[in-house]
Structure 1
Amino acid sequence: MKIYQNTKIASNMSLYISGQTPSKIDYTPQSIEEQTEVVLEKITAALHENNLTVESLVKITIYITDVSYLAGVRSKLAEFVGESKPTATLVVVAGLIDPNFKVEIDGIAAF
């Protein structure tokens, strides 16, 4: 009987991407979809700086400030991860470092 549904085996080399926030040079978009896009762009940049791709992600943690944002975040994440589907944890939090932030995502990638 399979107990764990979404597991990945990581190699010895890993890249830890700290929580990425939805602001760009003193600008934070208002919609959850746009905020998620900014966060995912930052994660993509961190991956590319280390010669990795989204397929290298083995784990992401998504923090949102309201459960009503889930659908918007899921749609953008589905586009982003495609078939790679890293393991994921979603946490609804009371707030993030800036009250305008609705989403933050961190990740772990394997070489």
Structure 2
Amino acid sequence: MFLKRIGWPYWVISLILGVVIPYLLEKIISLGAMVHLGIIFGIVYPILAGLIGWYVKRHDESVWVIWILPVIFAVGLYFVGPLHATYFAPVYLCVAYLTYGLSAAN
């Protein structure tokens, strides 16, 4: 099945985390920069990136899947969010890759 092969859940999660939530945070919900960058992009998203890396390893998915969230996040912020927050994308990639590498296989 094509959708299973391309890892559609990762694309959906990445679109929500990379485009929808930054759009809501930037345009609709007015949060302070400390909450926006510090708590959401600095604490919540790295935890989610780690969970994605762990999930990919545990379910024996292709390692390229961990690139989806950081790339969509960077592209989404380019269009709807603060450009200085795109520096978080490599952090998410590193966290997901480290979690992938340090997780025990099934």
> TM-score, normalised to structure 1's length?
0.39
**In proportion to residue count, which structure has more helix?**
2
Of structures 1 and 2, the one scoring higher in RCO (CA 8 A, sep 6+) is 1
